[in-house]
Amino acid sequence: MLRRAVFLDKDGTVVVNVPYNVDPDQIRLAFGAVAGLTALHEAGFELVIVSNQSGVARGLFTEEALAAVERRLRDLLADEGLPLAGFYYCPHHPQGSVGRYAVVCDCRKPAPGMLLRAARELDLVLASSWMIGDLLDDVEAGHRAGCPAVLIDNGYEKEWRLTPQRQPDYKAADLAEAARQIL
């Protein structure tokens, strides 16, 4: 059976961006998230979070703190009837202050490592899947994994370094619009 996914950046895409947040009480679904995720789920896409979490490498919070973030996000989505097939994060950053996380890795977006791992573990077909995020690093990670990509153009992208791999297939204001474009 063909299993396809929508890989989703977390902060600024699925949830309201609160920088380096690990407080579950501050996690809120972004405008358009429920409508978009519902449409994608009903169309047969698995929903998979892929999130850079450099706060771990920077010493701002522990990797263990992300378990509460995942639980809260799963609960918020479950309240809307939306199952989360996977939650993947990268705790690394090359300029981090916590030695074991201050590395160049293959999982930190724009590298495709989280998407490739999720595809292996969840038996997903990348060529039939999509990446949605609010930064061009998300777009590039999707393209490097073999997925088309939608940029949520909400003002968080500041660099606009466009290369062929960083050129979004579509732009959208929120997840609801992104879902309409994909479907």
Q: Model pTM?
A: 0.97
Give the pLDDT confidence score for residue 1 in this predicted structure. 67
Extract the runs of DSSP E, i.e. beta strands, from 20-176.
45-52, 86-90, 130-133, 149-152, 170-172
Q: How many domains does the chain have?
A: 1
Give the pLDDT confidence score for residue 155 in this predicted structure. 85
Instruction: With a cut of 70, list the residues of the chain below it in pLDDT.
Output: 1
| 7 within domain boundaries | no
Print the domain residue range for 95.
40-122+140-155+165-173
| 30 within domain boundaries | no
Residues with Cβ within 8 Å of residue 132, at least 6 apart in sequence: 6, 7, 8, 9, 13, 138, 149, 150, 152, 172, 175, 178
| 11 within domain boundaries | no
| 8 within domain boundaries | no
| 34 within domain boundaries | no
Which residues are marked as active site? 9, 11
Give the pLDDT confidence score for residue 123 in this predicted structure. 97
Give the pLDDT confidence score for residue 156 in this predicted structure. 86
| 13 within domain boundaries | no
CATH of the domain at 116: 3.40.50.1000
